[in-house]
Amino acid sequence: MHLFRLDASIRTTGSVSRALADTAEQAWLAEHPDAVVTRRDLVADPLPADLWPKAVLSALDPSAPPVPQAQAVVERLSAELLDADAYVFAVPLYNWGVPAHFKTWIDVVLLNQAFGAAGDRPLAGRPAVLAMSRGGGYGPGTPKEGWDHNSPYLKRVLAEVLHLDVHVAEAELTLADVNPAMAPLRGLAADLLKAGHESAAAHGRRVADLVRA
């Protein structure tokens, strides 16, 4: 068994998305203790932000300089996905959108045409846990309702572009303990975090069962 885990939080300690992913991974490993875990940390090992535009320009414009390192990176990232049986993605909300380094990863991965809209869907149906965290509240009736542009993108690109079977674990109000203005929300934040970890554990077990089946 082989699990691929990706982390996008800029924090290596105190990160809620990483903590949720830890819970999901531990639940997975409890079912598959001898499994291989491949880790891709987009902060500890960042991808060059200009890799994708240079590679695309090189493909579109014969006069543009070639980018030989792009193909090597695409092959490496593709192999990490193709070799896995299941996945854990830990991606927080930053500035109401997708972390730039995660978007770079997606853009580079999709240079592999097999993963694109016209590809043969090599990952179709493989199970994944998506662990998400949001510092504020973005649900119906909240002041920032509709401002979360991260969650819809992540669900769509993982489920409808890469065609993974996505199971979501999430927590909101994660800044309540450090933001005095959010002090009245700390009880709710604690409840949401607890529920997020419970969901992550359940999804980790579920994904392990789906692979075993």
Judge contact between 174 and 189, C-beta under 8 A.
yes
At 174 the pLDDT is 97
Q: State the CATH number of the domain containing residue 6.
A: 3.40.50.360
The predicted model scores a pTM of 0.95
User: Is the confidence at residue 58, as pLDDT, over 90?
Assistant: no
pLDDT, tens digit, for every residue of 160-212? Answer: 999 999 999 999 999 999 999 999 999 999 999 999 999 999 999 999 999 97
Task: Give the best-scoring range by mean pLDDT among 43-52, 54-63, 91-100, 113-122.
Answer: 91-100
User: Is the confidence at residue 213, as pLDDT, over 70?
Assistant: no
Three-state secondary structure call for residue 129: strand
Domain that holds residue 200: 2-212
Quote the number of domains for the chain: 1
Judge contact between 59 and 112, C-beta under 8 A.
no
